[in-house]
Chain A
């Protein structure tokens, strides 16, 4: 396994272009949280041609709905949610200028196509490792849709968040490649 790359957000076009499916990375800088309900609202604004409450051009979205922070803590547990539920909205956000997404699970072909067309990358974080990942979050502030509770958009600053490039800007898919390497045919050895 290769040593992880160190990446600073927001990602430059050059950063996105050098990443390949299967690369491990430690992400530092600002990322925005957003999941189902927030995506629905952002998508509706984009469709109506209106301004988003947060400028997400060049930014990275982390698909997460954290638990409430205990007193004295920055944030509660904060692992990735299943990205596929955002697939209906992601191509529009990528076309608008979103550069990166962090989540877990498979993406649809339209999302993968939008990533290759516009230059974006999809990172996987370990699903369920929410207490460990929360330790990498150094600040947290709600910036939009506070009424959505855990689904509000938060501005996080992360420090060395461990992720793996799943889909790169060239159509590479690490889920497919990784599984193929270990798949055994039925009845085989």
Chain B
């Protein structure tokens, strides 16, 4: 057993501590709303990509339906606040629970499908969810609804969202890291590698896939609610926009699917890139550039940016990667 003082001096630990200090102090230095807004978006996307990665990256079950859980989180919060006057902290968690319940119902049926069939089913699910919500008048139909604003002075109104989303991103990363090293994580990897062999090794593959799907849906349910409350407005077109699912996929591929660090890299890179592009070449060309970046990444770094470490790293580094990333 190594003592904590030695562990604290390891480069990985030092980097993590430095990052935590940076994130904690960031609002004190950059208190302009714009920078905080970018950070909040990064945190939200980290949660979305990291959670998508559990069935998507670990088990190899690519989903286009992740936006559904995000949207349901937003609408659960919207409905509970507007229609029942419930406190946001409770509505966020309820959003997570609603998303998880939906994942249980949908996953139990659709996870019997494999590969692209599952992916198509999730796409259908996302489109159906949007359609259903659009047709519920009590939820504002296609126009959506306004949510009450946090009555803080404009100078500070982003602060709680900043620390809230940062905290949830940290918790999500930590949970995914724990799962990666647990039986669940390894068994999901086994399913990705060879599902029949996994079954022959005694793994209840259906059960593990459904559990992964449920855990994965809970987090977008929560941040969907926070995002809705943060923006102050929800409507089906934006909260159920398939672009969320596309962004998640792009970020995951860019950073490195099936790793813990990859989603963090992908989310950070694309949120910042998207902001830079929107005031340089303009938003409309953004997707073209995304496409080019993706092609380049799949050609030269098929395991994502995080695999650079593996390429240039020593043999020792490679082994460490297979256990931890």
Q: Do A and B come from one complex?
A: no
